[in-house]
Amino acid sequence: MLKIPKIFKKLAFDRIKETEKLDSKLDKLPKQNFINYYKRNCEGIEVKRHVFNLLAKIDKSCIVPDDFKVLFKYLLETHPGLEFLQATPEF
């Protein structure tokens, strides 16, 4: 439904919890909260704009390097080909 690349699913999930003012510890989203988020933030918006909005801080019109940290952390934690980097402190 969101039509975003899978790598952004965690960012989307966290953003929905944040904008819908849900408990950050939730591991499931209530259906109505997802629908509310979709109608306000995704309906009629191009995928590239939605991806930008997921990366940028809420109400920002630009992306800074720190905005990518969450995405890279998720990628390093979940990508099986990058497991060897988890043991390397500088990564």
Q: Which two tokens mark 35?
A: 């629908």
pLDDT along the chain (91 residues), means of 10: 89 94 95 96 93 90 92 86 79 64
Q: How many CA atoms lie within 13 A of 30 on its CB side?
A: 9
User: Which residues contact residue 38 at a Cβ distance below 8 angstroms, ignoring those fewer than 6 apart?
Assistant: 1, 2
Contact (CB, 8 A) for 2 and 42: yes
**Please, are residues 17 and 58 in contact by the beta-carbon 8 Å criterion?**
no
The pTM of the full predicted model, rounded to 2 decimals, is 0.80
Residue 30 φ/ψ region, left for φ over 0, alpha for ψ in the -120 to 50 degree band, beta for the rest = beta
Q: What is the pLDDT of residue 66?
A: 93
Q: pLDDT at position 87, please?
A: 78
Q: Tell me what pLDDT residue 74 has.
A: 87
pLDDT of residue 73: 86
Q: Are 5 and 51 in contact (CB under 8 A)?
A: yes
Residue 91's pLDDT is what? 64
